[in-house]
């Protein structure tokens, strides 16, 4: 008897989180891992390029949901995935990270049981086990849609796999049963180690005439930064001023590009010779730029972790982070638009802090997750 395990993938940062686990489960004779792509991200370079780089097979199930308001997107995923659960009856559903599809699939699965749908559809299991990979992270900022997704997912999931010990502490503090929590480490580091050979071989940065350690890379996509025209203008100015000190690679997220165009800011960026504007990059290309950069400016979650692991300074343009270990232990610093220029000068003049690597960020998280699944599903 094999156990069917759904791995929910929706948006760019999810693909790196499911890849090592999908490959690890494929090597297990008792497991039948199935990728469920909700379609939250659908562009070639936001989705397909990641499947290719991470050597993932085509999703077994595609919900094709697309963009929308938060409620629309969440509701469409719930409606589509409920049908899939009923039809396929998976033994376990693994959701990752904190995007809208994470909470949507968790809620659809949790309600199958609570609403009695299981009986109506002759389920032979009460309800699939729901497991959350990257559980327990908290920014304590509910204006961030991801924070709501994290809290609600962790309340409903049966198993909570945490990436760092602050995750365990947050969950215990919220009254979650200790037995549900398993500290497994950071799965993003597994992806990085899995692809390290390919990342190091590529040298895409030299194709852009950049020298190792002599350029920065910037990513910006959070609504709190790029949906505010005034702030977006200041960020544009920051990128321009920084690129006059050293070259800046800037892969532009679709949300950011749309807003730059609408606010007439794209042209001023395009005119700067030190700014290299690119389409969103695939995993291997992006990581090749990061590996060889002097520092990173970002508002992403995952990049704060990757830079800590690599010992590269990371200036995070956010007032808070759900990944505090990258600040206390790693190379990350939270910055605001008015002070970040000083931080950039510190990094360039070599005055930035050095960090260390958090516990269990070691490339072995997928195997710890597989052991946890075996004990949950009673696999000999
Ligand atoms: C989503 C996640 C965020 C994650 C980010 C990574 C939520 C609430 N947010 O934000 O946590 O950090 O992904 O990118 O789940 N678009 C395209 N092509 C695509 C995808 C999106 O053009 O393939 C455009 C659409 O205009 C869309 C907008 O980008 O409306 C935003 O996409 P959406 O998935 O809603 O959120 P992200 O900002 O990408």
- Whether 254 is in the pocket of ligand 1, judged by its Cβ within 6 Å, is yes
Q: Give residue-wise pLDDT tens across range 103-128.
A: 999 999 998 865 555 555 554 556 78
Task: Tell me what percent of the residues of the chain surpass a pLDDT of 70.
Answer: 96
Q: Closest ligand 1 atom to the C-alpha of 258?
A: 26
Q: Rounded to an integer, what is the distance from CA 58 to the centroid of its chain?
A: 20
| Predicted confidence (pLDDT) per residue in 145-203, tens digit | 999 999 999 999 999 999 999 999 999 999 999 999 999 999 999 999 999 999 999 98
What pTM, to 2 d.p., does this model score?
0.95
List, for residues 27-42, the tens digit of each pLDDT value: 999 999 999 999 999 9
Please name the residues in contact with 186: beta carbons below 8 A apart, sequence gap of 6 or more. 163, 164, 305, 309, 358, 360, 361, 365
What span, in angstroms and rounded, lies between the C-alpha atoms of 318 and 99? 18
**What is residue 117's predicted lDDT score, i.e. its pLDDT?**
55
The mean pLDDT value for 292-306 works out to 98
> Nearest C-alpha to atom 26 of ligand 1 is from which residue?
255
Q: Is the CB of 12 under 6 A from ligand 1?
A: yes
pLDDT above 80 for 215:
yes
Res 140 pLDDT > 70: yes
Among 42, 67, 256, residue to substitute to test ligand 1 (most atoms within 8 Å of Cβ): 67
Q: Looking at residue 112, what is its pLDDT?
A: 84
**Mean model confidence pLDDT for the chain:** 95
Question: 1 or 335, which is more confident?
Answer: 335
Marked catalytic residue, from 41, 221, 253, 328: 221
Identify the pLDDT of residue 111: 87
The Cα–Cα gap between 289 and 266 comes to 22
Active-site residue 253, yes or no?
no
- Which atom of ligand 1 has the smallest separation from the CA of 40? 34
pLDDT at 93: 97
Q: Bridge-partner residues for 159, per DSSP?
A: 131
Confidence category of residue 22, pLDDT binned at 50, 70, 90 = very high
Residue with tokens 């990085």: 192
% residues pLDDT > 90 (the chain): 93
Question: For position 122, what pLDDT does the model report?
Answer: 55
In tens, the pLDDT along 223-246 reads 999 999 999 999 999 999 999 999
**Residue 136 clears pLDDT 90, i.e. is over it:** yes
> Residue 1 — pLDDT band, cuts 50, 70, 90?
confident
Mean pLDDT of 312-317: 98
Q: How confident is the model at residue 282 (pLDDT cuts 50, 70, 90)?
A: very high
d(CA 302, CA 146): 13
In DSSP terms, 250 is beta-bridged to: 277
Check residue 119 and give its pLDDT: 59
* 1 Cα to the center of ligand 1, angstroms: 38
Ligand 1 pocket test: pick from 37, 40, 49 the residue with the most ligand atoms within 8 Å of its Cβ: 40
Mean pLDDT value of segment 36-52:
96
User: Closest residue (by CA) to atom 2 of ligand 1?
Assistant: 99
CB neighbour list of residue 87: distance below 8 Å, 6 or more residues apart? none
Closest atom of ligand 1 relative to the 101 alpha carbon: 15
């Amino acid at each position: 008897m094999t156990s069917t395990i759904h791995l929910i993938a929706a948006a760019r940062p999810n693909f790196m989180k499911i890849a090592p686990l999908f490959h690890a489960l494929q090597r297990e004779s008792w497991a039948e891992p199935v990728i469920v792509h909700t379609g939250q991200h659908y562009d070639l370079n936001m989705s397909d390029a990641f499947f290719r780089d991470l050597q993932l097979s085509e999703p077994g199930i595609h919900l094709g949901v697309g963009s929308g308001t938060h409620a629309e997107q969440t509701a469409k995923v719930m409606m589509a995935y409920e049908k899939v659960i009923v039809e396929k009856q998976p033994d376990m559903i693994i959701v990752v990270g904190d995007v809208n599809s994470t909470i949507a699939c968790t809620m659809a699965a949790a309600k199958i049981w609570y609403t009695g749908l299981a009986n109506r559809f002759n389920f032979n299991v009460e309800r699939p086990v729901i497991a959350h990979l990257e559980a327990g992270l908290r920014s304590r900022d509910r204006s961030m849609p991801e924070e709501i997704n994290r809290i609600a997912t962790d309340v409903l999931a049966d198993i909570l796999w945490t990436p760092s010990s602050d995750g365990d502490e947050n969950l215990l503090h919220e009254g979650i049963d200790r037995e549900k929590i398993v500290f497994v480490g950071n799965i993003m580091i597994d992806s990085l180690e899995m692809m390290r050979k390919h990342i190091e071989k590529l040298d895409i940065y030299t194709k852009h005439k950049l020298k190792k350690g002599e350029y920065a890379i910037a990513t910006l996509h959070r609504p709190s930064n790029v949906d505010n025209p005034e702030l977006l203008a200041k960020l544009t100015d920051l990128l321009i001023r920084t690129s006059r000190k050293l070259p800046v690679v800037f892969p532009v997220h679709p949300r950011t590009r749309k807003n730059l165009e609408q606010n007439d800011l794209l042209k001023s960026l395009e005119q700067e010779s030190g700014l290299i504007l690119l389409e969103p990059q695939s995993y291997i290309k992006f990581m090749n730029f990061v590996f060889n950069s002097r520092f990173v400016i970002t508002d992403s979650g995952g990049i704060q972790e990757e830079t800590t692991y690599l010992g590269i300074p990371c200036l995070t343009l956010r007032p808070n982070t759900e990944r505090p270990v990258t600040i206390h232990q790693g190379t990350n610093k939270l910055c605001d638009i008015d002070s970040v220029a000083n931080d950039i000068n510190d990094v360039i003049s070599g005055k930035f802090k050095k960090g260390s690597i958090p516990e269990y960020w070691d490339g072995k998280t997928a195997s710890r997750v597989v052991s946890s699944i075996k004990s949950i599903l009673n696999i000999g």
